[in-house]
Each structure stands twice: as C-alpha cells, then as structure tokens.
C-alpha cells in the first residue's frame, strides 16, 4: 500500500509553536515517527508539507492514480478550505484526517472541518500516534487487492 502523508501550514514550526498544545517535538521528529511507523506497518509513504493552500491542492491532485490512501493534517486550512475538500473529493482516494490536538476542545472556530465531510475517518488529539492510527486504518480497510 502506498500512502501520501500531507501536512499543512505551520506544522514545520512544531517544537516552537505553542508547545503547551503541540509539545516540544519538531517537524523532523514527526517525520521520523511517521517513517518508522510506516516501516513497522509495511506501507510505503511519501511525506509532503506546505504552508500554501494551492500547493496542498496540487499535491492531492497529483496523488490520483499513484497513491492508495492519503493521511492529511490540513492544519488551519481544516476550517477554511473548500479547495482542499474539493480536491479530496475529485481524486476519490480514501483519506484520513489527522490533528495533533483535539480541535473540538479548542476555540469554537476550530470545530468546523471541511475535510471531515469527505474523509473516511478523522483522528483528533492523539498527537503523533494519530498518524500511525491513520495509516493502520487505511492498510486494514483500503489495501489494494493483489
């Protein structure tokens, strides 16, 4: 199984950004965790991060016909981006939305998730472990048949 792992804006600032919410681990730490988890699960991954909405949309579109699943942390675009929602709908690749924090325990404006309207699962508040859970879910439920 081949999974695209997409991270949105400000995730590259992990370790500096609001450590009481996101912890002290860096984006490099997250990448290592995801890579190690993928190896343990026996799935192939590609990591992508951008602070730009259009770049995230482009990468989702480029995934069509290449990836079997998407794990996406749209970050702040979760609450604003119809474009990311539409890109996920267009490619129709099973996608799992992941958030390090529990968006439903934060500010009210964060309670809206556009990607959740099309994602097959949403995982909130499990920090890095949410990425492993997302990949495992995709592997168990959407692996291509040999």
Answer positive or negative: Cα dihedral of 122, 127, 132, 136.
negative
Active site residues: 22, 99
Tokens 């996101």 belong to residue: 22
Angle at 20 between CA 15 and CA 17, to 5 degrees: 35
Tokens 């699962």 belong to residue: 121
- Report pLDDT for 144: 81
- Confidence band of 145 (pLDDT split at 50, 70, 90): low
Residue 66 burial by Cβ neighbours in a 10 Å radius (0-12, 13-18, 19+): exposed
pTM of the model: 0.93
Residue 22's CB is within 10 A of a number of other CB atoms, namely 18
Q: Are 47 and 38 in contact (CB under 8 A)?
A: no
Summarize the confidence of residues 12-31 as an average pLDDT: 89
Query: Tens of pLDDT along 100-126?
Result: 988 877 778 667 899 999 999 999 999
Nearest residue to 93 (alpha-carbon basis) of 69, 127, 65:
69
Asked whether the predicted pLDDT for residue 146 surpasses 50, the reply is no
Domain ranges of the chain: 2-142
CATH tag, 2-142: 3.40.50.9100
Asked whether the predicted pLDDT for residue 11 surpasses 90, the reply is yes
Strand partners, 4: 46, 70
Query: Tens of pLDDT along 26-81?
Result: 999 999 999 999 999 999 999 999 999 999 999 999 999 999 999 999 999 998 89
């Amino acid at each position: 199984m081949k999974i695209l792992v997409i991270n949105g804006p400000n995730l590259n600032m992990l370790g500096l950004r609001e450590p009481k919410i996101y912890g002290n681990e860096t984006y490099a730490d997250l990448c290592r965790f995801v890579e190690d988890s993928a190896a343990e699960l026996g799935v192939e991954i590609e990591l992508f991060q951008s602070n730009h909405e259009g770049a995230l949309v482009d990468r989702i579109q480029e995934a069509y016909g290449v990836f079997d699943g998407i794990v996406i942390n749209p970050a702040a675009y979760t609450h604003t981006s119809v474009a990311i929602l539409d890109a996920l709908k267009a490619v129709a690749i099973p996608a799992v939305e992941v958030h390090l924090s529990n968006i439903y325990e934060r500010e009210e404006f964060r309670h809206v998730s556009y990607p959740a309207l099309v994602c097959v699962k949403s995982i909130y508040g499990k920090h890095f472990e949410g990425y492993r859970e997302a990949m495992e879910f995709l592997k168990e439920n959407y692996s291509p048949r040999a």
